[in-house]
């Protein structure tokens, strides 16, 4: 009996020891972030004794997900993208040489991930090698991160690979069921845009290539699988939310003919932080599912277009005003559909009765433009899609470049040529194609306008819904820490997190249009 008691006691002691040992192991494991152990400053100071500080660039020593970390030479910080939707830290930070060791310094911010991300708190880390150590800092971002390295090329060379690279960190990849993904590709990148080229913060076009220089498709941030991407600098909008909201509104009111999509990201180029960007899909053959018999034109400006404009184009695929996006190779009559459209603007009708405007589409565009006060999209910044069918040719319109919306307009009085409230809230903007449609069949267009406006008011164009959208996007940009970094990087842009002007615009513009459309007041030339 005594022996059994002794064995029982021993077993209890062993179990207790194992339990304590397990708790100690768990505690040690809990002191790891991104697979890196956390130590106190005293512990690390002891470990540094007898070692010399290294001047080796830390980016050459450590990887995250087997890729070099984005780095900002302005502040000397490395950056890691992390999810805002959980307190868990994802990914693995490791040394290139497995014989080296890396540790994080103890920091109270580790226990409050959301606060650390929002405030852009720098976490200290140290790497130990054979006789040396190296210390640096890393900041966590709540947005996906894009890092580009390599030489910027001229836009005329945009089809040529120059072995630059792009890496995209997405902590919640929709294409991978919300998992953390890191995608890399060779690329070429170039400055794009018209008036936006004057700003120091540039927008970029990016094309992807494989190791052999052949075109390569990748899906980024839950969007399409393709080799062509746009990085929109979003510079002129002090809120950074107008263009994304405008894109969302069009895609909801026009599900049958959507345009681009856009997702927020923070961008680094050649070791320097560039700020908040909108990664966008281009409007092209793939986006619109174009086929033989379809045409797509990018309209930069309608100003000065006359009957003789097309006589001298010959085999041209691009002019100062227009660019043919599809077909990609010249063919006889390739400009004819666009000429039909511009002739309609001049004459108010089509000489060829087999050509027609899609009234539903053009009225939607007009309502969309009026609601947003998108004055920069009246005589420019849109696409014309023409489709041949059994009855003839149908012409439709798609918006593009929507930074001057929700009350913003171009104003050379300001440094970033943007000013809120340039136009009165009760102004109806004259749009020639809509006006010609209205003149040709006023009762039908009047009824269609009221019908479509009612439909929009029952879906996306609602004050509370749009205000919530604005608040959600601003919250994403601020909670991610990105808005603060963007503002520090580009102080001359005059960025502001105050969206009360946008909310006021939405309220007042809806109220005005409800009344104007009910009365059939569509403006006169």
What is the rounded distance in angstroms from the CA atom of residue 395 to the CA atom of residue 34?
Answer: 54
8's CB contacts (< 8 A; 6+ apart) are: none
CA 515 remoteness from chain centre: 35
DSSP class of 268: E
Q: What is the dihedral of CA 467, 472, 477, 478, to 10 degrees?
A: 90
What is the rounded distance in angstroms from the CA atom of residue 419 to the CA atom of residue 427?
Answer: 17
What CATH class is the domain 285-519?
mainly alpha
DSSP annotation string for 303-371? TT--TTGGGG-TT-SB-SSEEEEESSS--TTTTHHHHHHHHHHHHSS-SSTTEEE-HHHHHHHHHHHHH
Residue that has been written with the tokens 């990085």 in this structure: 231
Check residue 525 and give its pLDDT. Answer: 53
In the chain, where are the structural domains located?
28-141, 145-280, 285-519
Contact at 8 Å (CB) between 425 and 505? yes
**Pair of tokens at residue 492:** 């001359």
pLDDT along the chain (525 residues), means of 10: 57 52 43 95 97 93 94 96 96 94 98 98 97 97 98 80 91 94 96 77 95 94 96 97 98 96 98 98 96 96 94 91 96 95 96 95 98 97 95 96 96 87 95 96 95 97 98 98 98 96 98 95 66
DSSP class of 292: T
At residue 259's C-alpha, the angle toward residues 257 and 263, to 5°, is 140
Check residue 10 and give its pLDDT. Answer: 60
Helix axes 500-519, 442-458, angle to 10 degrees: 140
Check residue 154 and give its pLDDT. Answer: 85
pTM of the model: 0.92
Question: For residue 277, which of 76, 53, 490, 451 has the smallest C-alpha distance?
Answer: 490
**Pair of tokens at residue 264:** 């927020």
């Amino acid at each position: 009996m005594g022996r059994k008691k002794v064995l029982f006691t021993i077993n209890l002691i062993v179990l207790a020891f194992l339990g304590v040992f397990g708790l100690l192991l768990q505690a040690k494991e809990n002191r790891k972030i991104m697979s890196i152990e956390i130590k106190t400053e005293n512990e690390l100071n002891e470990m540094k004794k007898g070692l010399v500080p290294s001047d080796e660039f830390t980016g050459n020593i450590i990887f995250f997900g087997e890729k070099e970390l984005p780095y900002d030479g302005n502040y000397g910080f490395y950056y890691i993208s992390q999810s805002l939707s959980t307190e868990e830290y994802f990914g693995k930070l490791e040394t290139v040489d497995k014989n080296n060791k890396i540790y994080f310094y103890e920091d109270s911010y580790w226990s409050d991930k959301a606060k650390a991300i929002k405030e852009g708190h720098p976490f200290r880390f140290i790497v130990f090698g054979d006789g040396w150590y190296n210390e640096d800092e890393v900041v966590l971002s709540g947005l996906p991160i894009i890092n580009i390295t390599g030489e910027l090329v001229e836009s005329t060379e945009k089809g040529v690979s120059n072995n630059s690279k792009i890496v995209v960190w997405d902590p919640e990849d929709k294409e991978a069921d919300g998992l953390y993904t890191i995608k890399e590709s060779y690329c070429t990148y170039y400055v794009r845009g018209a008036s936006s080229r004057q700003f120091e913060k540039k927008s970029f076009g990016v094309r992807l290539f494989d190791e052999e220089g052949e075109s390569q498709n990748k899906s980024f941030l839950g969007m399409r699988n393709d080799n062509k991407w746009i990085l929109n600098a979003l510079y002129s909008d002090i809120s950074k939310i107008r263009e994304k909201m405008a894109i969302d509104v069009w895609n909801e009111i026009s599900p049958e003919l959507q345009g681009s999509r856009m997702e927020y990201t923070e961008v680094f180029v050649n070791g320097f932080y560039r700020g908040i960007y909108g990664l966008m899909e281009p409007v092209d053959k793939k986006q619109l599912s174009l086929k033989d018999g379809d045409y797509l034109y990018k309209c930069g400006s309608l100003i000065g277009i006359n009957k003789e404009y097309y006589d001298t184009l010959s085999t041209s695929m691009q002019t100062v005003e227009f660019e043919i996006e599809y077909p990609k190779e010249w063919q006889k009559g390739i400009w004819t559909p666009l000429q039909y459209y511009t002739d309609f603007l001049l004459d108010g009708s089509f000489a060829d009765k087999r050509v027609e405007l899609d009234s539903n589409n053009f009225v939607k565009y007009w309502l969309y433009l009026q609601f947003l006060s998108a004055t920069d999209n009246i005589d420019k910044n849109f696409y014309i899609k023409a489709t041949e069918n059994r009855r003839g040719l149908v012409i439709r319109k798609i918006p593009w470049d929507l930074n001057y919306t929700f009350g913003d307009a171009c104003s050379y009085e300001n440094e970033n040529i943007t000013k809120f409230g340039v136009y009165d809230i009760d102004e109806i903007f004259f749009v020639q194609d809509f006006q010609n449609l209205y003149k040709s069949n006023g009762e039908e267009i009047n009824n269609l306008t009221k019908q479509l406006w009612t439909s929009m008011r029952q879906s996306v164009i609602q004050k509370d819904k749009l205000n919530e959208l604005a608040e959600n996007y601003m919250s994403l940009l601020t909670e991610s820490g990105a808005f603060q970094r963007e503002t520090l990087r580009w102080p001359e842009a005059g960025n502001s997190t105050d969206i009360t002007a946008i909310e006021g615009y939405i309220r007042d513009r809806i109220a005005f249009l409800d009344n104007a459309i009910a009365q059939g007041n569509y403006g006169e030339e």
